[in-house]
Structure 1
Amino acid sequence: MIEQNIMVRGQQMHVKMTGADTLPIIIFLHGFTGTSSTWIEVMESLEGSFKMIAIDLTGHGKTDAPAEPNRYAMEEQVEDLAALFSTLNLKAFSLVGYSMGGRIALAYTEKYPEHVHTLILESASPGLKTEQERQARREADLKLARRIKKQGIEQFVSFWENIPLFESQKQMSIECQQKVRMERLSQRELGLSNSLIGIGTGNQPSFWEKLRTLRLPVLLITGEIDNKFVNIAREMNVLIPKAIHRTVKNAGHAIHVEKPTLFATMVGEHVKKQKI
């Protein structure tokens, strides 16, 4: 696996790449507090069948963490990806996004559909429907951002890993839990707090009204324990013309972490069906 830092729109972006240039391309976008490393097991399972690229998003992992929260905004991150893909000469690919990365993947696809063969969204949403919901979320995320700056990464991670969204991860092996914890602890206060302010769900536009305009195949993956996102995916499935919704048994929010081999199989089979 090759690791590389690439200058994109004035900031260094870190990527992991594997696979021959002649193979179909899959790009992976992680969630909040994650890095490209979260996809390693999935990528290893798909080795030999695809060229794969996992990206550290702005403020995460080894990608730069700008001081200005506006630099983390959805439209900025979409343009970062567009510039990165252009630099890497990636013209057509399948795009996988988890949670925050899924929101960014959806926004990118809405703006640049000609580059995306198929979109795979894991536990992701199109944003919040009303301004009232967005305002409440902005206030909550701002409080959380201040908490990170005040208490530091370690206390924040101890809080974050115990929220109900990640309860099912306590069923994983101690080794897997520790790996996830170390990935979260590797983050920077500035990157996480600015991500909450700049690209939190309350700060992004709602894409609910645009789902009907998506013309490409979309796979929605949710864990059955994650009721909130199962319900969101059901709503999305009704609106997106070529959507398929798959729910994974005994899994929560992060299926690719809890059941990486199964997740890889689902992604691989879906991409191969597109006859790229």
Structure 2
Amino acid sequence: MSGHSLARLAVTSAGHGEPVIVIHGFTGSAAAMAPLVDRLDGYRCVAVDLVGHGRSPSPADLAPYSVEAMAASVAVLAAGMGGEPCHVVGYSMGGRVALALADAHRDACRSLTLISTTAGISNAPERAQRREADETLADRIDAGGITRFVNDWVALPMWDTLRARLSAAEWQASIRQRTQSNPVGLANSLRAAGTGSMTPLWDRLDGIEVPTLVLCGALDAKFVAIGREMADLLPHSELAVLDGIGHAVHLEDPDACATAIHRHLTAH
């Protein structure tokens, strides 16, 4: 890959057919998206490890961690997959990367699926407040290490529904996956790719013409509201709210999530 701010991303490929790029959320990896990838039969799924996560590099420089830089790294990956536009599925932070990809690299995307995603924080004081909060979290990783950070992170209320849906063994496996990332990578990701650092894309949504599925869990009230707002602004979008689940849609009900995505991919 060219450019000082682009990272060479580790990927995990599965299946055959039209290419689908799958992008995880903060503290995730390609491995965390496996329950969804395993259910997307009939497609060539390429799950990425974003910079600072999984097996991808964790540079000290913050530039490669910006949402725009991560989108550019995914665009290079997409360009190497046969030249045709790819279906792109992104969860949470990965959804923000997918949205930035569709905005800045329009030829890369055939369709978008945005799971529990926001277009950023449009209010400048709120954005600054979030940036400060993320900086504090990043400092806690530096000071206390990744295991303590992950344990604190998964204790947040947004993960209660996931914990309730997974078996004890599955929950422990998800914590293990999160703690395998590089602490430098996670801290830098918070500093450069959080919603406080991201350039908001709300005023760009009406120009994103690719067919888009906005997917969220009914128990995740904050992201249902955000999803509804995004779907109203994206010109070719559909909102799907799945009952009985929260933020981690693809882990809490992978069957319902995969069914909704299959329907979207087949139509486009």
TM-score (norm 2): 0.95
In structure 1, C-alpha distance between the alignment counterparts of 2:92 and 2:132, rounded to whole Å: 20
1:155 aligns with 2:151: no
1:8 CA drift (Å):
6.4
User: What is the aligned partner in structure 1 of residue 247 from structure 2?
Assistant: 253
CA distance in 1 between counterparts of 2:2 and 2:48 reads 12
| TM-superposition CA deviations, 1:142-190 (whole Å, max 9, x none) | 0000001100011001100010111111212112211211111111110
| Alignment partners' CA distance in 1, 2:236 and 2:70 | 26
Residues 152 and 187 of structure 1, relative CA distance in 2, 3 Å threshold? same
1:73 equivalent to 2:73? Answer: no
CA distance in 2, matches of 1:26, 1:88: 10
> Which of 17, 35, 50 pairs up with 2:13?
17
Q: Is the 8 A contact 2:8 2:73 kept in 1?
A: no
Amino acid of the structure 2 residue aligned with 1:108: L
Q: Distance in 1 between matches of 2:75 and 2:110?
A: 15
2-side partners of 1:191 and 1:113: how far apart?
28
Structure 2 letter corresponding to 1:141: D
2:36 maps to 42
Cα distance in 2 between the residues matched to 1:11 and 1:95: 19
1:103 corresponds to 2:96: yes
Structure 1 residue 71: Cα displacement: 2.2
2:56 to 44, 55, 63: 63
Out of 150, 161, 182, which is 1:188 matched to? 182
Is 1:216 matched up with 2:210? yes
Paired residue type of 1:58: V
Contact 2:118–2:223 (8 Å) recurs in 1: yes
2:108 equivalent to 1:115: yes
CA deviations 1:1-39 (Å, max 9, x no partner) are xxxxxx66574421001223xx11111000000000112
In 1: Cα distance, 2:185 partner to 2:108 partner: 28
1:226 lines up with 2:220 in the alignment: yes
Question: What secondary structure does 2:9 align onto?
Answer: strand
Supply the distance in 2 between the matched residues of 1:88 and 1:217 (Cα, whole angstroms). Answer: 20
Cα distance in 2 for residues equivalent to 1:124 and 1:43: 19
CA distance in 1, matches of 2:223, 2:78: 29
Indicate the residue corresponding to 1:3 in structure 2. none
* Aligned equivalents of 1:260, 1:31: Cα separation in 2: 15
String of CA shifts for 1:62-118, please: whole Å, max 9, x gaps.
000010122211221122112222234343111000000000000000112222111
What is the CA–CA distance in structure 2 between the aligned matches of 1:240 and 1:12, rounded to whole Å?
Answer: 30
Distance between the aligned counterparts of 1:247 and 1:81, measured in 2?
A: 27
- The answer to which of 215-224 and 120-129 deviates more is 215-224
Does 2:163 correspond to 1:177?
no
**What SS does structure 2 have at the residue aligned with 1:118?**
strand
What is the aligned partner in structure 2 of residue 138 from structure 1?
131
CA distance, structure 2, for counterparts of residue 40 and residue 120 of structure 1: 16
Match for residue 235 of structure 2? Answer: 241
Q: d(CA) in 2 for partners of 1:71 and 1:144?
A: 19
What SS is found at the alignment partner of 1:128? Answer: coil
- TM-score, normalisation: structure 1: 0.92
**SS, match of residue 265 in structure 1:** helix
CA distance in 1, matches of 2:149, 2:264: 36
SS of 1:45 mapped into structure 2: coil
Structure 1 unmatched runs, 5+: 1-6
- Residue 12 of structure 2 aligns with an amino acid whose one-letter code is K
